[in-house]
Amino acid sequence: MKYCSLSGQRWIALLVSLVVNGVFATESKSQIQRVVALDPSDDPMLAPTNEIGPLNAKPEPAMQRLTAVSELTDVKPTDWAYQLLQSLIERYGAIAGYPDLTFRGNRAMTRYEFAAALVAAFPRVDLSSFATQQDLAALKKLTDEFAAELAVVKGKLNALERIEPVSTTTKFTGEAIFAVTGVAESRKAGDRDPTDSNLTLSSRAKLNFNSNLGNRTLLRTTLKANNISGLQNATGTDMARLSFQGDSDNLFELDEVSIRSRLNRQVTFQGFAVGGSVNKFTETLNPFLNSSGQGSISRFGQRNPLYRQGGEVGLGFSFNLNRRVSLDVGYLFDRGNRPNIGIGKAPYGAIAQLTYEFSKTAGIGLSYVRSFNSLDTNTGSERANDPFNDRSNAITADSVGVQAAIGIAENLAVAGWAGFTRARAADLPNDPTATIVNWAVTVAAPNLGGEGNLLGFVVGQPPKVTANDFQVWGRSFRDRDTGLHLEAFYRIRLHRGISITPGFIILTHPDHNSNNDPVFVGTVRTTFSF
């Protein structure tokens, strides 16, 4: 093989510069590519927590940028290349070391590595500043000599750029809630027994495992343990249900197993094996109050009850039609693994919602929900949860909802919704139908009195049966009166991961019956998040 010759010291300086610049420029580019491939700006949920290399590749150690040659533990002042390395570090910042701060200058270099060094070095180093035209001509001959290797390396780099990184990194988060709750003395809805007015201390813990699978795909697994008893037993109505309520005797249960993947910039896929809900497919447009640990203290105040129909196993897609308009669809069923009913007769809920964002702080959503035997939302009256008095095993429901939100000022947002449901009992004589209506207005004042604080109000009518063809003892099985849900709470941020939220709920006519005494519920919710 014939080599070109360069003048003594220039040959060493150029070769060291090229090799160092080339090798470490290649390494830096590799690291940058690994980050860009999963750009967090594409989807915050799918942001990588570390840098992962290509498929089936052994991870290379990340290089440490240097400011002085003395930082390299295996380079001594007596080494022949010490001065050259020092110059390259101080003048060009072209040297990087391995994580253990070694340079490994005696390691053999392959022709492919040298070719890659040439490719990376030429764009980065202004050779004209310290090289003569004769030197540049010699380097041109070197490039021609390694033309075959350069072509191979370029092909490999292009192939690597097309490979999506895969990360099995799992980010662990959690939340713990401790709540003191009490009900003011009155009479239970539906009878004359006194309410259970004793103070209770209860808790809930959630552990989330978010695994980045690469290709903009997130696998979420959630465990939950709680012992928060339902207030419907203490008050006689589901209208007093808390947002964080549930009881597993403090035993951890599988709460959610889901996968979310961005197929492209316009389409996102979601699938649920456990813990699905139709609200997870779309925007509920009540952002400040939607969280059970940080938002509304009531279940009704979180979102339109229409979103609570359906099972927990299924899939959905979100389509970004343009910068302002999105279409979300989803289907969830329950108990579809039973041979006696199969998927066709299993309880299910399907949603389609069109959302329009006027701006970053204002939007409106139009939703349609079709459900089968999933009408009970645990938020309305007894009749709204079951308008056919437990006589039907084939309740189909068509629901239409509208929800909107607007940021009036920096620390003030107003949201609201209205829901209409037409339910039909297909297995009862004459196919009786029932009409169920609900509405609410919410007000949120974020950062009021301090960063992370939140003042919230909810005024609304929980689901109410306004008309019903079904009769009991010759009387229409509908709600004859109208009760209101009144709620106020103030979340105080004590620390980055600690907040305390005192709040109360007033039900003017529980179960939409004026004969029932008003119900007063108070709670102090303390939330730890990490």
Nearest 10 degrees: CA dihedral of 362, 366, 367, 368? Answer: 180
Nearest 10 degrees: CA dihedral of 89, 94, 97, 103? Answer: -80
Which of 284 and 146 is assigned the larger pLDDT? 284
Does residue 240 share a domain with residue 144?
no
Quick check: is 179 in a domain? yes
φ, ψ at 213 (rounded to 5°): -95, 5
* 3-state secondary structure at position 521: strand
Report whether 441 contacts 460 (CB < 8 A).
yes
Report whether 46 contacts 220 (CB < 8 A).
no
Quick check: is 386 in a domain? yes
- Tell me how many degrees the CA angle 353-356-362 measures, rounded to the nearest 5: 120
When mean pLDDT is compared across 40-44, 79-83, 100-104, 354-358, the lowest value belongs to 40-44
Percent of the chain with pLDDT over 90: 55
When mean pLDDT is compared across 130-139, 208-217, 356-365, the lowest value belongs to 130-139
Tell whether the model's pLDDT for residue 294 goes beyond 80.
yes
| Overall average pLDDT of the 38-42 stretch | 33
**Average per-residue pLDDT for the chain:** 81
Quick check: is 251 in a domain? yes
Quick check: is 59 in a domain? yes
Which tens digit of pLDDT belongs to each residue from 153-206? Answer: 777 767 765 655 555 688 999 999 999 999 987 888 877 788 888 889 999 999
Does residue 460 share a domain with residue 375?
yes
Q: What's the domain range around 86?
A: 8-161
Does residue 489 share a domain with residue 407?
yes
Does residue 182 share a domain with residue 102?
no
Quick check: is 418 in a domain? yes
Quick check: is 311 in a domain? yes
When mean pLDDT is compared across 147-151, 366-370, 371-375, the lowest value belongs to 147-151
Sign of CA dihedral 322, 326, 331, 332: positive
Q: Which amino acid is at 316?
A: G
Quick check: is 2 in a domain? no
Does residue 138 share a domain with residue 92?
yes
Does residue 218 share a domain with residue 156?
no
Which among 120, 136, 161 is the end of a domain?
A: 161
Contacts of 151 (CB under 8 A, 6+ apart): none
Does residue 182 share a domain with residue 136?
no
pLDDT value, residue 128: 56
Percent of the chain with pLDDT over 70: 75
pLDDT value, residue 52: 28
Report whether 268 contacts 262 (CB < 8 A).
yes
The domain total for the chain is 2
Contacts of 408 (CB under 8 A, 6+ apart): 414
Tell whether the model's pLDDT for residue 461 goes beyond 60.
yes
Does residue 101 share a domain with residue 214?
no
Cβ neighbours, 10 Å, residue 239: 32
Does residue 483 share a domain with residue 408?
yes
| Overall average pLDDT of the 401-418 stretch | 95
Report whether 136 contacts 126 (CB < 8 A).
no
* Rounded alpha-carbon distances, angstroms, from residue 173 to 122, 221, 270, 454: 46, 11, 20, 22
Could you tell me the CATH number of the domain that includes residue 384?
2.40.160.10
What is the rounded CA–CA span in Å between residue 212 and residue 235?
A: 44
Does residue 179 share a domain with residue 157?
no
pLDDT value, residue 527: 97
* Rounded alpha-carbon distances, angstroms, from residue 128 to 11, 54, 114, 328: 14, 36, 21, 58
Does residue 244 share a domain with residue 329?
yes
**String of DSSP letters for 71-93:** G-TT--TTSTTHHHHHHIIIII-
Quick check: is 440 in a domain? yes
pLDDT value, residue 102: 78
pLDDT value, residue 150: 72
- In the 3-class helix/strand/coil scheme, how is 6-69 assigned residue by residue? CCHHHHHHHHHHHHHHHHHHHHHHHHHHHHHCCCCCCCHHHCCCCCCCCCCCCCCCCCEECCCH
Does residue 356 share a domain with residue 271?
yes
pLDDT value, residue 41: 33
| Overall average pLDDT of the 228-235 stretch | 84
Residue with tokens 């052994």: 58
φ, ψ at 184 (rounded to 5°): -65, 150
Tell whether the model's pLDDT for residue 368 goes beyond 60.
yes
pTM: 0.69
pLDDT value, residue 33: 30
Which among 161, 191, 218 is the end of a domain?
A: 161
Which among 106, 129, 161 is the end of a domain?
A: 161
Beta bridge partners, 524, equal 180, 502
